[in-house]
Each structure stands twice: as structure tokens, then as C-alpha cells.
Chain A
Amino acid sequence: MANEQDAKWFCDTFAAIRSEVGAAIIGQADIVEGVLAGLAANGHVLLEGMPGLGKTLLVRSLSKALSLDFSRVQFTPDMMPADVTGTNVLAHADSGARSFEFRRGPIFANLVLADEINRATPKTQSAMLEAMQERGVTVGGKRHELPEPFLVMATQNPIEQEGTYPLPEAQLDRFFFKLLVPYPTRAELAEVVTKTTGIEGREPKSVAGAEDVMRMRGIVREVPVASNVLDYAISLTLATHPSGDGSTSVAKRYLRYGASPRGAQSLITAGKIFALLAGRFNVSKEDLNKAYLPALRHRILLNFEAEADGMTADSVLGEVLAAVEAGDRDPIRV
């Protein structure tokens, strides 16, 4: 059972990892925090951003800071599922005997970077996402467990949509967070250029291991949530539905589908992490508000009107959040 010291250890460890990763990544503090939150929440993260914003560097730095295995898969349309999961190959023994042997694919790592996942065919995407969900792969009738901790960071390129296969909603729902990697600011860009064109900086040090990650996940689960906060999370989720109780006018106008129950789960879990990071022992509504966009932006489906009006998932969710917050009044009216 976690106690105050465990909570403090969580904060310190999280800060140490962030610090090490931050040493390699200039700026992108929210992205780093989001990825680490996904790791602590036992979820996967979908990163969407322009090429060259340091996504690979982020994962690599993270693996170094955590002393975890790292692999990268660059998805292309001709990639087969076996290229991801691995396959049975005919092996020749020294004695001359031949047998099938499972050769693990790149997914067998603690940290997997699925680069441009939307370029893979749905079949390959499906194999990848199934492995993400099941935490294992089955080849030739035999199941192979993936290592723990296991974190997939998939990336998407918001441009160059030709020849891509957008992830279906059911598969997007399996990502804990969807993080939008912003373009660096002027100062950040200058620092990036300076750092990467000069003498190589120091590599991230290992400050935690797999066991630490597992411990962090255990601590997160023990953070208490008040009933009104839970109710608020439910309201935030239901407010994205275009119909039903708690639906908002924005959702009715711009959304085809609302967030699934996984969305509410992600909200609460992320809220717990943010609470611990804030030095609190309880989840607050502010934590949920902070987790709202990364946890739900990939779980809603805009309708044609939203696209016609130039609405994005974030803008719609922003309005939904504002509506729910406005409805959440002080219970003591004076």
C-alpha cells in the first residue's frame, strides 16, 4: 500500500526522468510529461506532428533514462504484420536438424516507436494494435508475451495524407493519450540548432528501471478520487456525445461520435498522475481538465459540419469543457 513517501518517490522519480529526457529534448515539456504519464499509466501514446520535431529522439532518450529496450518501426505500405510482430523461420541446427524458430519482431521491446503508423496497411496496423492491446503476439498458434513495461509511441504526420491509411476509431481508442507535437518556439529552435550542430551533448543517464516504472504504476492506482470529481469526469465524457444525457449543444452540432468509456478511464488515470505530480494526494477537477484534451481528442469523431466550419477536435472539446465547467457550480449558493 502506497504512502506519503511513495508519493514523494513518484514525484522525484518522475522529475528525474523528465529532467534526463529534457536534457536531450529542447522544449516540448508537455510532450515529455504526456509520454511519461502514458508510461506511468500503462498506456500507449499517439504523437502527431511534423517530421523532425524530435519524436525519435524523445523515445530514445526515454529508453536511456529508464534503461529500457527501445525499437523503432518505420511503417510503410508494403510492411507486413510479421515485420512487426515477428515470424517463425526455418532454423538449421549444427547437427543438421531443421526446425521452426520464432524470430521476434521489433515490437518486442519496452519502448516501441511506431513511426508514421498511418502509412501501414490496415492489416499491419491491426496486428500492431492487437499486440498493444493484448500485450502479446500469437504466431503459429503460440503466444509470445511482450516485455513489461511496454509502451508504444506511434506517430502520425498530419500532412501528406495521400497513400496513408488513417487509423480507425476503434484502434485510436486504444491509445491512452494523443499528443500534438508543436513546432518549437524561436528560442527553442535556436537552442536545438545550436546543440545539434555543435559538440555533441551528454547522453541521458539512466535514473530508473523497469521495476521503477512498475512501482510507479502501482502508486498511481492508489490515489483517491472524490465522488464529485468522478462525476465531473463522467460529465466531461458524456458531454462529448451528440445525444443522450449530459450532451452539450456543441457536441450535438459538431460530433458524430463521442468518447468511449476508455476515455473516462484515461481521464481519471491521467488525473491521478497529474495529482501526484502536483504534490497532492487526491485527484482534482483541474487535473481532469489538464488531461482532457490529450485523453479525448482522438476518441471523438467530427462530423461534416465541423469540418466545414473549420473546427478541430481540440476546439470542439474546448467548448465542451467550457460548457461542463459552467454547469459545475458551487453547491452552496449564497
Chain B
Amino acid sequence: MKSHDLDRFGRRVRLIRAWRGLAVVGFGGALACLGWGALDWFRLATAEWSGLGVLFAGCAVLGALVGAFLPVPLDALASSVDRRGNLQDRLRTTMERDGSGGLDAALAADAHSRVQHLKPSTLYPIRPNRWHGAMIATAILASAVFMLGNSPLLLSDQQKKERDELKTTGKTVERVRKEFEATSKQPSKEEKDLAAELKRFQKELEKARMDKQEAMQKANELAKKADELTRENAKKSEQSIRQAMTAQDRMAKADRDAKETKDLQAKLADAQNKGQELQKQMDALKQDLAKQNLSPSERAQMQAKQSELSKAMQENKALQMKLSQAVKDMIARMQSNPLYKEIQELAQKLAKNADQTALEGQPSLTKEQLEEMQKELEELAEKLKDDKAMKEYLEAMKQALEDALKNGAKIEMGAGLLGAFGLLPIPGGVTGSGQSNSPGAPTQDIWHGDSGKINKLDKPVPGQGKTQIVGVTGDRQDKGEETYIEIRGPASLGKRSRVPYQQVLPSYRRRAESAINRQQIPADQQKRVKEYFESLKRN
């Protein structure tokens, strides 16, 4: 007799246990269904045929699985087969013997021959037991309770009529709910709650678990909620539209300002071109005057022309200086405006928000935004050409900042809003925290302005900084002087630095000195570089 002689009995036992487990746990499931159905009847819970069926079948299947996979110890199985097959403990004794006894071989042969004649199906017949009876009876009872609770049999004609009406209304609510869910692709929490409430209401209506008055009351409540939700959504939409419109207005204004700036730039370019033309004429005239074969009349004519040219050049220079001065004046006026301080405070608050946003891993400015902001900054001087325009502009900026703070604006809120910040020459930068990657960025509320003439460079020197400079390049003379206008302000462009500039200043200063010593900086620019670092040192 070997243990595999018992395998077929083991399989049969598992089958029987599955059959029994199905009944035992299924009985539990039927009891749960009965309770659920009773709760449904008394309107304490809502039950459906599908739910009851799933609960009952789930329990039955679970019981069968547990029964099938419970372990079957071999010694217990041997004892059981001994008992059921009337083998008088032959199997169990054989299982325990190691074959060393004199009678062990005879015992094993005897047990083997006897167990061969036993059929597992005979020893362990599959038949319904009391658990199966209890399960079926309880399931029938649960069905009856559920059906009675949902049946119109016990209702009067009037109640039946109301019930039908409620059911019809329930179908309508279902349609509304589905439409509502279909339209809300990304529903908010309030919308989800409303949808869930609608679903409950629909089920209650379908099961006619409330009278007409209750249904009306509930419907009114839900309608009120839906109305409030709609109003809130409309308000939000309106606010968004208003913000969009504000941004649009600002963009339109910026466009207008840009147009005026372009006009001014065109005028300035014309003046510069005209100056160059005059200079050329002057040079040509000087060369002609230097010739010896000129008649006195020709010489006098040329000298008169030279005098006119000289006058025109002086006027041209005066015009250019005037434009420069206009920019400086505009800056001074803006700084003296009380609105400017308020805007600064708002901007600083917004900068904190922006910092927080950056810490939270929100996306920073895009390259396109940076370029746009740089352009706008370059056109700043032209925009603020008179007090009225400046006041209007500052007020618009203040309103934009207030709106931004009120709405919890973040850095990615929109290029329009950011563009508005970028237009402002705010110390420390809008998106920074007082430091900049630009080594020369002042940290005080001071703007530095300068203008003058420098010798033209033989060729443009590409900027070493990280800031991408976008400018309009045109034909230029290789020699001679050109007018420059320098405005030093806080860097509001580029990637924000988190290193205080005082820490990097000595290093940059040494590098600048080294560059000057190696003659890497043109002689005309060296003075400016030195003055720049001196000014930082003072600050």
C-alpha cells in the first residue's frame, strides 16, 4: 500500500468539501441576502436583483473554492477511508509502519488489495445535506422578502399609480444624469457629488421608495444644487473670459505701444542714417576741399555746403540726444510715480508665489516667453513717453498684479500676464527672488542710465552672458562714432539664480579685470566695465 493509493480518495474528498463549502458559505450569503432584502423592504438600504445574485453566487463560489483547496492530511484520509471502507484501521496502520516489522509486508499487501476494491464515489457520495437545504431555503426566503418589498401587490390603486409615475420620473432622472456625466469630461468634486446624488435619487424613484411629495422636495433640492453649481461654473467662466479679455486688451495696448515704439525707432534710425549720410557727405566734402585745383568760387560753395552739413549733423545729434533724454526722463518719472511703489510690492508678492511654484516643480518660462519679454523690455522706454500714457500703463499693471494675486496666479498662468510683468522694470525681477544670473544686476531699486559716444567696433562682440539678445541689425559703418544708450536695471529675464550676487561678484570682478589686462575688452569699453564694477562695489 502506497500513499498514491489514497490520491483518488483525496481528490474525491476535495470535491466533497467543495460541495459542502458551497452550501455552508452559500448559506451565509443567502442569510446576508435575506438581511439585505429586509433592509431594502424597510427602506434602510437599496437592493437590486443583480447585487443579491452576485452576493449569493460569490459566497457560494468562495465556499466551494475554500473547500476544494483545504489541505487533506494523509493520515486523516487513511483513517477516514478505514472507517468508511470498513478496513479496520489497515490503511492507517500501514501508513505509520516503516516496513521493518515482520508483519508489515503482509499488512501492506492486505491493505493494498482491500483498498483497490473501494470506490471513492461509494465512500464519499455527493448528495445534498442539511446545509444545502438551509442554503436553498434561505435563498428562497431572501428572494421572497426582496420581491414582496418591491412588489405593488400590497399597494392600493392610488399608490400603484404614484409608483408608476415615480418610476417614469426615475427614467427621466437617469437620462439627465447620463447626459450630465457625458458632458462633464473632468468633473469637479461638486459635480461628482451631484452625479452620485442623482444616481441615488434615480434608484429611489425607480424603486418608488418615496412618495410624490418627498420626490418633489428632493428634486427641488437637487435642482437647487445643480443651479448653484451652474452659477458657480458660469462665474468661473466669466472670470476666465474677463481675464482673457484683460489680457487681450493689454496685448492690444502693448501692440499699440510697440507700434509707437517702432515709429520712434524708425525715426531714430532715420536720424542715425541721416547722420551717417551727412557724415559721408562731410567726409567727401573735406576730401574735395583738400584738393588744390579748386577755384575760389568752388571752394566757397563747398565751404558753405560744409557749414550746412555741419549744422545738419549737429541738429541730428541733438535729436538723438533728445530721444535719449526722453527715455531717461520717462524712467525718472515712473520712479517718482506713487503707483510704482505699489506695483513693486505686488510684484514681490507675486514673485514669492512664483518661487513657490518653482519649488513645487511647476514649469518655468518658455524660451518664446523670454524672447517676448526681452522685446517688450527693450521697447519700454518708447512706451512710457508721456505722463498720461505712463499713468495709464502703471494702473493697468497694478490691476493685473492685483488680479493675479487674487486668483492665486502662478508663473504659468499665461503669456499675457507674464508679458505684463515683463514690461515692468521691477528690481529683483518678477520671477526672481532678488538675485539674478546677470553679474551686474543691481539689487536696489535703482536704475542706472548713461549715454554717450563710443568708437565703433570693427565687428560685433558676441555677448558672453546667458541672456539671449535679440536686436534688429542693419547696415552699419565700420568706423566712426556711434551713440549708445545704456540702461542698467534688474535682470528679469533668463533663468533665475539662487546665488546671491555678492557671492559671485568677486569672481566676476576678477574675471573682468583679467579680461581688461589681456586686452580682450576694447579700450573704449574698459572704462565702462570698470565703472560698472565700481558702482556694484558702492552698492
Contacts and interface: CB of A to CB of B under 8 A. Distances in A.
Interface stretch (A131-139, A221-229, A262-270): A221-229
Contacts of A280: 88, 90, 110
Interface residues of A, number: 27
Contact of B20 (A284, A331, A334): A334
B93 A225 contact: yes
Interface in B76-127: 76-77, 79-80, 83-84, 88-90, 92-97, 101-107, 110, 124
A282 B106 CA distance: 10
Nearest to B18: A334
Given A228-B89, A280-B110, A332 B103 contact: no
Contact of B101 (A222, A229, A284, A285): A222
Nearest to A2: B102
A148 to B, nearest CB: 23
A6 B80 CA distance: 30
Contact of A283 (B17, B75, B89, B106): B89
Interface string A322-333: 000000001110
Contacts of A3: 102-103, 105-106
Among A278, A284, A330, A332, which residue has the most Cβ atoms of chain B within 10 A?
Answer: A332
A222 B77 CA distance: 25
B300 interface: no
A229 B76 contact: no
Given A6-B102, A330-B83, A282 B76 contact: no
Contacts, number: 87
A281 B92 contact: no
Nearest to A288: B89
B89 A281 contact: no
A332 B123 CA distance: 12
Contacts of B75: 228, 331
B103 A224 contact: yes
A4 interface: yes
Given A6-B102, A222-B102, A280-B90, A334 B107 contact: no
A331 B17 contact: no
Contacts of B284: none
Nearest to B126: A334
A282 B107 CA distance: 7
A286 B96 CA distance: 19
B13 A285 contact: no
A332 B13 contact: yes
Contact of B92 (A6, A7, A226): A226
Contacts of A226: 89, 92-93, 95-96
A104 B191 CA distance: 114
Nearest to A282: B93
A286 B75 CA distance: 19
A283 B80 CA distance: 16
A229 B93 contact: yes
B92 A228 contact: yes
B194 interface: no
A84 B95 CA distance: 50
Contacts of A285: 88-89
Interface string A217-244: 0000011111111000000000000000
B102 A331 contact: no
Interface in A190-246: 222-229
A330 B16 CA distance: 14
Interface in A1-56: 1-4, 6-7
B72 interface: yes
A325 to B, nearest CB: 11
B76 to A, nearest CB: 4
Contacts of B97: 224
Contacts of B105: 3-4
A323 to B, nearest CB: 18
A330 B84 contact: yes
Given A3-B106, A332-B76, A284 B89 contact: yes
Nearest to B91: A226
Interface string A286-309: 110000000000000000000000
Contacts of A286: 88
A224 B76 contact: no
A223 B83 contact: no
B80 A4 contact: no
A228 B79 contact: yes
A180 B101 CA distance: 36
B381 to A, nearest CB: 97
Given A331-B80, A334-B13, A334-B124, A222 B103 contact: yes
Among A225, A284, A287, which residue has the most Cβ atoms of chain B within 10 A?
Answer: A284
Nearest to A331: B76
Nearest to B107: A281
A90 to B, nearest CB: 53
Contact of B88 (A2, A6, A227, A284): A284
A48 B197 CA distance: 89
Nearest to B16: A334
A226 B80 CA distance: 14
Nearest to B76: A331
A282 B88 CA distance: 8
Contacts of B72: 332
B80 A332 contact: yes
Contact of B103 (A278, A281, A284, A330): A281
Nearest to A275: B88
A111 to B, nearest CB: 29
B483 to A, nearest CB: 107
A283 B82 CA distance: 12
Interface string A58-94: 0000000000000000000000000000000000000
6 contacts: A3-B102, A224-B101, A278-B88, A281-B103, A285-B89, A334-B20
Given A6-B102, A229-B92, 4 more contacts: A2-B102, A229-B93, A280-B88, A331-B77
What 3 A-B pairs come out closest when comparing CB atoms? A284-B88, A331-B76, A1-B102
